[in-house]
Structure 1
């Protein structure tokens, strides 16, 4: 039978990427760098901190970085850990590893103690390149067995931890020709947050980066004239893959300084950005600021902003003139769910992309009907479009790819038109008195109250077994907590069993460096002394509607 794949034609109603349909053998980072350097030459690809590099210069920088690593003894398949704030060396070493056939291991700069030690040991990195200010983080750690050298990129600090060979940055060596890494060879190991156990190192093959560039480029309609602005950290998959989106599309990638609400719009305007990326609380923070002439003094048309609260999705666009774009992606799976930025529905992730498959299943992996929530499981047709497993954790790989579908751990709902809506992480689902509760849904209701700026809903122990519902709230400036009013706000919007029993006001939610709420911190804190208890306060629920039956 002669197959013509969907992804070789006009795709999902979107303009296909110019590199869609590239032969699988050419779906590598070195292949993309060489191909696009030949096509775009001196056109700017990277702008960062006053530095500008063309497509040709990025290719050449990767070849030099590969030569530098090889001169230091790094061979194909060996791991190089990178622990830096955004700096050009971080991107060079990631691309240099891919060029050499080695494996980059970007580490979150917020790592400390046992978690940092675990990732260094688990990855088996031979070299750790890091900001010199971070060298002191190694002091309390036992030197990992495989780690032979630490490269302090700003120079060797005066005090170095015992047991570590701390050196200055390596001297640049002669460039090397690309080593011929294949599309299935691991280009990077990216660690998950590890909220339910030790962090898992996601093995990202070369072709997975290609598919990130193609799929997101099509959803955002990125073209040669676009400027992609991000201030997210390069150790995060979002910022790394935004670079590949620019590379694939022939666009320009502008890497800005850390997020600042007061400087965000002036910075994107200065960068002449047309596309940007927002995560976590960034959307809420921008919306909560007073209106300003800067709100629309920019050229941004679209911002990738997954999981934006429904209550502010349209309001953001109306105020800033920027269309927010939802999609589904993860470090393991690429971006297999989404629609064009022109076809967005608040609160919905989109439809499954051509060449990818999604099912919504129960605890037995049996598919549930449309309209019934279940776990999202995913598969792919294009080779190496997803991660190939968890490094040195075969049991976790088998668990996640049960029945040959990747189990996302995300609870979703599919409608009759194939649109998928995120409900909750399964581990954040709360079970109270026999009822399953979505923390995400409770958060959406609380966020719709005018006094609430940000919220995290999580389970706490109940004296009656199972869980009670708790919420940590950040209030809008100038407002005070009226907990009973919040309960009354919830009553017509939530089933009675989902209305939080415990409410607590906090100055800020605990966040990762990528802007995600660290619910594990809130769960560990549990019921604090300043938590308001609805039952102890004698506030009785009016069991309205179906929740009262």
Structure 2
């Protein structure tokens, strides 16, 4: 099948073929000590597609995977795309009933697992392939086959949401959505073919998977790490020569709270995609590490709907609406004035640039509004800033409180390293505000100092009643704080209660 390298790619296989023709010997993917050139990436995708076909996997069939960041996982995603099948990479933190539920949602009959995950799928009554065992579809063992003729709106993958605010749901992601991720985020980061991208987030998540597509779109090199390490991060990116990094807000906080070291600037990273980074950390991070942090709004269900371009960024803002998208801020179904918080709803005017909805739901009509569940503010000049998740809004004594706003203020206190704020039941009905925090090394817990500091920037009703000090916060596999376990644990024996102390907020 001829490939016109000047036309716009229509699918993931189409994109890979173009890059293999343009720069066949350039490194495309590095993972687990294995370096794959663009020529080899094409060969592995075609070979894996052939291997899947040989065991009966057909167009549209859904094949799951449960694995850490291994080359076999990348092979499965590309091999499925090659033959028009659908990859379903699952969160390795899922267990027992959650795994079965996800497989049932996605109507999966076959799953490829790494050896350490094999026991987790013991209750699955479909076909289980264990990586490394005989008779398992593997790239390189079969001659390649021609790619299936794939439509941009055909599903490439089903990705499950993180489940931080509810049960994980499967999202139908078409080829066009991945390609648009590659194009739009690549432009926002200013990617070039000479860049080396480093991402240590799990490949089952939209962040790492789309970073890989961004790299292929730019014709650059993608290095997939194994896991995030505060101690080793800068040495890792230095050793591989990375120029672009991928972080989350929690990771940014961990890095900046670490003791200063000579390695802080001994690297080539110029820019990092770092969604959900608190505004007060952006400039100090750039000053200390020499890295520009880039925010934006995107989700598994959408794309980079709100973002920025190099040379036009604002600390604390996600950006403006990107070309091909619409965004509005609403409350109770009606648009709110600029400067007033409300729910962000978005839509695309480009077919396939957003997902095709959740498994079990009808495919949305073209141009349908997507409710994000995020509370944002749009300024009069069109710049958007994040406030919080709607489900994180705390209702206390008739007042709505933004948990994210309280977190931002508390995180500025010199003794606090990280903090999560959430509602707990109040004796007076509604909620009380609780904060669970990690102290900086060597800092003492002085709750009076913390509240005295906070009340200078927060109204009295937003001040935490309860404060817990912990060694670590529960995180998802992608580094997001899990507030559900914190809410379930609630007030404990060692929780500090302002209403049982000498402290009284000045009103």
What's the offset of the Cα at 1:263?
1.2
Q: Distance in 2 between matches of 1:120 and 1:354?
A: 36
Partner SS state of residue 225, structure 1: coil
What's the offset of the Cα at 1:312?
1.6
Q: Distance in 2 between matches of 1:88 and 1:515?
A: 22
Equivalent residue, structure 2, for 1:389: 357
Check whether the contact 2:86–2:158 (CA below 8 A) recurs between aligned residues.
yes
Q: Distance in 2 between matches of 1:138 and 1:118?
A: 11
Equivalent positions of 1:22-37 (< 5 A) are 23=8, 26-37=9-20
Equivalent residue, structure 2, for 1:476: 440
What's the offset of the Cα at 1:216?
0.4
Q: Distance in 2 between matches of 1:287 and 1:528?
A: 30
Q: Distance in 2 between matches of 1:280 and 1:122?
A: 30
Q: Distance in 2 between matches of 1:484 and 1:198?
A: 38
Q: Distance in 1 between matches of 2:315 and 2:433?
A: 25
Check whether the contact 1:64–1:96 (CA below 8 A) recurs between aligned residues.
yes
Match among 412, 433, 437 for residue 397 of structure 2 = 433
Q: Distance in 2 between matches of 1:505 and 1:404?
A: 44
Equivalent positions of 1:116-127 (< 5 A) are 116-127=99-110
Q: Distance in 1 between matches of 2:367 and 2:22?
A: 42
Match among 368, 373, 378 for residue 409 of structure 1 = 373
Q: Does 1:326 align with 2:270?
A: no
Equivalent residue, structure 2, for 1:295: 264
Equivalent residue, structure 2, for 1:447: 411
Equivalent residue, structure 1, for 2:131: 153
Equivalent positions of 1:276-295 (< 5 A) are 276-295=245-264
Equivalent residue, structure 2, for 1:246: 215
Partner SS state of residue 400, structure 2: strand
Q: Distance in 2 between matches of 1:516 and 1:198?
A: 15
Q: Distance in 1 between matches of 2:166 and 2:407?
A: 25
Equivalent residue, structure 1, for 2:191: 222
Equivalent residue, structure 2, for 1:71: 54
What's the offset of the Cα at 1:258?
1.4
Q: Does 1:378 align with 2:346?
A: yes
Q: Distance in 1 between matches of 2:5 and 2:334?
A: 33
Identify the range of structure 1 (412-421 vs 116-125) with the bigger mean alpha-carbon deviation: 116-125
What's the offset of the Cα at 1:351?
0.5
What's the offset of the Cα at 1:347?
1.3
Equivalent residue, structure 1, for 2:235: 266
Q: Distance in 2 between matches of 1:519 and 1:255?
A: 28
Question: Could you say if the C-alpha distance between residues 66 and 436 of structure 1 is closer, same or farther in structure 2, counting changes exceeding 3 Å?
Answer: same
Question: Could you say if the C-alpha distance between residues 60 and 154 of structure 1 is closer, same or farther in structure 2, counting changes exceeding 3 Å?
Answer: closer
Match among 127, 141, 145 for residue 176 of structure 1 = 145
Check whether the contact 2:32–2:71 (CA below 8 A) recurs between aligned residues.
no
What's the offset of the Cα at 1:350?
0.6
Q: Distance in 1 between matches of 2:17 and 2:382?
A: 38
What's the offset of the Cα at 1:362?
0.4
Note the alpha carbon deviations across 1:326-349, whole angstroms, 9 max, x for none.
Answer: 111100111111112432222110
Match among 321, 325, 348 for residue 352 of structure 1 = 321
Check whether the contact 1:154–1:169 (CA below 8 A) recurs between aligned residues.
no
Question: Could you say if the C-alpha distance between residues 441 and 20 of structure 1 is closer, same or farther in structure 2, counting changes exceeding 3 Å?
Answer: farther
4+ residue stretches of structure 1 with deviation over 4 A?
Answer: 19-23, 167-171
Q: Does 1:53 align with 2:36?
A: yes
Q: Give me the TM-score of the superposition, normalised by structure 2.
A: 0.96
What's the offset of the Cα at 1:353?
0.5
Note the alpha carbon deviations across 1:153-198, whole angstroms, 9 max, x for none.
Answer: 1438xxxxxxxxxx75658322111101110000000001234443
Check whether the contact 1:118–1:198 (CA below 8 A) recurs between aligned residues.
no
Partner SS state of residue 436, structure 2: strand
Q: Distance in 1 between matches of 2:255 and 2:179?
A: 31
Equivalent residue, structure 2, for 1:213: 182
What's the offset of the Cα at 1:135?
1.2
Check whether the contact 1:447–1:455 (CA below 8 A) recurs between aligned residues.
yes
What's the offset of the Cα at 1:136?
1.3
What's the offset of the Cα at 1:497?
1.0
Identify the range of structure 1 (245-254 vs 39-48) with the bigger mean alpha-carbon deviation: 39-48
Equivalent residue, structure 1, for 2:489: 525
Equivalent residue, structure 2, for 1:91: 74
Q: Does 1:308 align with 2:277?
A: yes
Partner SS state of residue 327, structure 1: coil
Question: Could you say if the C-alpha distance between residues 479 and 20 of structure 1 is closer, same or farther in structure 2, counting changes exceeding 3 Å?
Answer: farther
Equivalent residue, structure 2, for 1:40: 23
What's the offset of the Cα at 1:113?
2.4
Q: Give me the TM-score of the superposition, normalised by structure 1.
A: 0.89
Equivalent residue, structure 2, for 1:462: 426
Identify the range of structure 1 (440-449 vs 226-235) with the bigger mean alpha-carbon deviation: 226-235
Q: Distance in 1 between matches of 2:459 and 2:207?
A: 36
Match among 518, 534, 539 for residue 498 of structure 2 = 534
Identify the range of structure 1 (369-378 vs 250-259) with the bigger mean alpha-carbon deviation: 250-259
Match among 154, 157, 163 for residue 188 of structure 1 = 157
Check whether the contact 2:48–2:137 (CA below 8 A) recurs between aligned residues.
no
Q: Distance in 1 between matches of 2:298 and 2:381?
A: 20
Match among 83, 89, 99 for residue 100 of structure 1 = 83
What's the offset of the Cα at 1:20?
13
